[in-house]
Structure 1
Amino acid sequence: MTLKNWIMAGALAGSAFTAGYLSGGGWAEARGGSTYELLDLFADVFERVKRDYVEEVADEPLIEAALNGMLSSLDPHSGYLNAQSFEDMQVQTRGEFGGLGIEVTMEQGLVKVVSPIDDTPAARAGLQPGDLITHLDGVSVMGMALADAVDKMRGRVGTDIRLTVRRGPQKVFDVTLTRAVVTIKSVRSRLEGDIGYVRITTFSEKTDDGLVDAMKALKRQSKGKLKGYVLDLRNNPGGLLEQAIAVADTFLDSGEIVSTRSRDPKDTQRFNARSGDLADGLPVVVLINGGSASASEIVAGALQDHQRARLVGTQSFGKGSVQTIMPLPGHGAMRLTTARYYTPSGRSIQAVGIHPDVVVEQPGSTLPPGMPQGEASLPHALNNDTPGKIHPADRVAPDSDPSEPPVEEIPEPQKDGANGTDAQLQRALDLLHGGEAAQSQAPN
């Protein structure tokens, strides 16, 4: 059966399935008179490519490209995920995988160890930052893509892999590691004097648990003498909606956190905070920048609208849409934008972003050439549908510089806030010490 006949058969099957719901004309009329013709056009193009293209092309990549083209033309965040991409996405959202526990990059064609993760096979084997991995199970990594090398190092828990390592001027040596469950730590924390500093790098399945553990640890370490918290969401590109809600709920005692609205008004959802503020009402400052997107903006917007926290930094990215992952059995999944989200005051930050209460530029922060200037600069970006609802902070510095974009690799901000090298963190600490940060939730 040709693709054209297959498509027509599928269309006829759809006609039979929906017949009970239609009256008068047929399926084609109900869906638009040109539906058959357009499906026929797609089939003709596919068959001509298969027959006449200068090189033989397999069916699967052609269909995948067509699917991705259809979805990505809708907006920047819809798309088709093949089986491998879908698996990679699940690894990121689960926050754990079978592997060695090393952060790596590529240098001169070799895999370079950036840092071993604590209490993982790599750390226990003594791998060090700067080590160069030249071979994996005897196979040279020269010419291998970083993603392929990472795939080879990951694998089933309990299996072994032999790494050939070059360390400085020392002789090359082999080390055999046994893969184990590696947990991606999305929450890091430390004390900045009497202020609890918490950084969230992404919103995965374990983020809320990590935040709760971090805040409890900070309370213990400070012996109950904390004066406030800094929540660092800079360069956090987002993640799971439910985790963003849980993180905001950690600092809120009541009130709406976020609402999502789909095309059908009946599908509107509202998510409210539960009783209990783990921060015990202490003042909070949230750090954001142009790399703070999606789930980060949900948290920042909720805390700002409830006057629970002051926002410091630069304007956020402006991704105010919700994507649903729909598995396609045997093939992967489609990622489809199904809703917009709105802050408690009813404003959408889509293509606009959230403006901080206190604008602080980070010295030396520059945009790499060709990087997007926020959501609004992306092709096919959705419009903002609440232009009349502007938070007061948006009027503070309307002519401030455009935001920085999200990045795939999330860098740690400079950590030495005590001597002012991190201007945004230092400003947050000054606000908390000066009593200028929000301390309690505003009445609803």
Structure 2
Amino acid sequence: MNKSLLRSLGLFGAGAMVATLAPAIGAVDMNTYKELDQFMSVFERVRTDYVDKVDDRKLIKGAIDGMLASLDPHSSYLDVRDRQNMRTQTQGAYGGLGLSVTMEDGAVKIMTPQEDTPAWKAGLKAGDYITHLNTNLLYGGTLDEAVDQMRGKPGSKITLTIVRPGRDKPFDVTLTRELIQLKPVKWEVKNGVGVININTFVNSNTADSVRAAIMGIQKTVGHDPLGYVIDLRSNPGGLLDQAIDVSDIFLERGEIVSQRGREKTDIERRFATPGDLAHGLPIIVLVDAGSASAAEIVAGALQDQKRALVMGERSFGKGSVQTVLELSDDTALKLTTARYFTPSGRSVQEGGINPDIAVPQLSDADYKDRPRLREADLRRHLINEAKVDDKVLEDDGKPDPRFILTADQLKKDGVEDFQLDYAVKTIARMAQPALKTAMSGARTGARR
């Protein structure tokens, strides 16, 4: 396949580049033909002998789905409905709750709630299970059926029954559907620090929105801010080219990401172009267990190029690239075709991006007990063949004196988001003249 086509999506649960599937088929041995004969025998038996009349298309789609499900969690067959959902994700808006969900052992599991949506405002968490919708059991149905029920007219209500690991009993949450606008970027100024919240890379204008955010921050402050916090928490990923473009905004030079396919020679590298719109100011990137794929590309690039400190908790760990291969006018194949690597050659697959400064979200009262869902927890995830053994790192077991406050204590002090508050205060300390000069010299030395 022509490498120039590799303009791919690195979506958490969906996504990839668009290409055309060539009709050529590789060499197939005789044993494979025997297996195909076996498949056709089963297909015919089901058509003729199953207790109820079956639809041929449904059977074939089920067979294709099963084949792709045996590969990895991110390869799948896209029918007309799936293609429309993808277009909705990348271009439009919909009435719903703002949830990314997956199916696990017949149950609907929350991957991440989108910020400022009904699900996010209600406190739903990654790793929660949705067992009922309006008291109707979901178990045993399909993911599409569950998504269809959760979407609906803005203003209408729906009750979700939630099972949260660590809690003894299920609980109900009644949500009002809203028009979920896929706005990729929000920004604000906190104590002279520019905060840029990138909540998705799905939109094709994410990078342009980041540029606009920087201009808005500079205009609000009247000059350059003390520095920037790039908030990538709960960002499930999106378009690879947008992740590259966003990274380029804050870099003057150097590699951003490399993409490696099946063959050793199948490597594509992407590099930054001159022009750091942040003018060399201090940057902190916030990540958590919900920061995935394209978000990890940005965090990894800025971390490896010594352009930013990464703060928060270990990210999700999705280091694979999916390609959308057109099968017909209405159908396509979303196939994992490559792994990506950070500038230093790290694969984030399974392991994710480790923060330079681990900062727990103390303002979340459940942060210690709430399970984190990551790529390594998904069945049939790709194995990272170059994993680093972190067992050599020892924990002295002593509590960090910086992180001993409780959620209630922080709330009394007016701190609703401890990680963000800590990042903003750290930028303020980094922006002190002596330290700022020292950091500038360190960056200059690192790039020689």
Check whether TM > 0.5.
Answer: yes
Q: Which one of 418, 421, 424 corresponds to residue 423 of structure 1?
A: 418
Change (3 A) 1:265 1:57: same
More displaced 10-residue stretch of structure 1: 371-380 or 287-296: 371-380
Residue 210 of structure 1 aligns to which amino acid in structure 2?
S
Cα pair 1:357 1:396 within 8 Å, conserved: no
Letter in 2 for 1:292: S
Q: How does 1:7-406 map to 2 (within 5 A)?
A: 30-94=27-91, 96-97=92-93, 147-148=147-148, 184-204=182-202, 205-363=204-362, 364-366=365-367, 373-387=373-387
Would you say the 8 A contact 2:75–2:336 is kept in 1?
yes
User: Cα distance, 1:384 vs. partner?
Assistant: 1.0
Residue identity over aligned pairs, in percent, reads 41
Alpha-carbon shift at residue 313 of structure 1 (Å): 0.4
Q: Displacement, 1:147? A: 4.5
Letter in 1 for 2:248: D
Task: Measure how far apart 1:375 and its partner are.
Answer: 1.2
Secondary structure of residue in 1 paired with 2:30 = coil
CA distance change for structure 1 residues 282 and 164 in 2, over 3 Å: closer, same or farther? Answer: closer
Greater RCO, CA 8 A, separation 6+: 2
Cα separation, 1, equivalents of 2:209 and 2:198: 9
Give the Cα–Cα distance (whole angstroms) in 2 for the partners of residues 399 and 201 of structure 1: 32
Q: Structure 1's 375 and 149: CA in aligned 2 closer, same or farther, altered over 3 A?
A: closer
What is the count of residue pairs matched by the alignment?
347
Residue 295 (structure 1) shift: 0.4
Measured after TM superposition, the shift of residue 281 of structure 1 is 0.7
How far off its partner does 1:92 sit? 1.1
TM-score normalised by L of structure 1: 0.69
User: Normalising by structure 2, what TM-score?
Assistant: 0.68
Alpha-carbon shift at residue 233 of structure 1 (Å): 0.3
Per the TM alignment, residue 328 of structure 1 is displaced from its structure 2 partner at its CA by 1.9
Give secondary structure in 2 for the equivalent of 1:190: strand
Q: Which has the larger radius of gyration?
A: 1
RMSD: 3.7
Q: Name the aligned partner's letter for residue 426 of structure 1.
A: D
Asked if the contact 2:325/2:333 (under 8 Å) is kept, the reply is: yes
Helix, strand or coil at the partner of 1:419: coil
Q: SS state of the match for residue 339, structure 1?
A: strand
The aligned amino acid for 2:447 is P
Aligned partners of 2:393 and 2:416: how far apart in 1? 23
Q: Secondary structure at the match of 1:214?
A: helix
Task: State the match for 2:447 in structure 1.
Answer: 443
Using the alignment, how far apart are the partners of 2:251 and 2:322 within structure 1? 25
2: CA distance, partners of 1:256 / 1:400: 36
| 1:117-156 C-alpha deviation (Å, 9 max, x unpaired) | 9xxxxxxxxxxx99xxxxxxxxxx99897844787659xx
1:416 to partner: Cα distance: 8.9
Q: Distance in 1 between matches of 2:396 and 2:380?
A: 25
Q: Distance in 2 between matches of 1:416 and 1:229?
A: 24
Sort the Cα spacing of 1:386 and 1:148 in 2 relative to 1 into closer, same or farther, 3 A: closer
Cα distance in 1 between the residues matched to 2:44 and 2:421 = 62
Q: Give the whole-Å Cα distance in 1 for the aligned partners of 2:330 and 2:231.
A: 38
**1:386 Cα deviation (Å)?**
2.3
The structural deviation recorded for 1:265 is 2.9
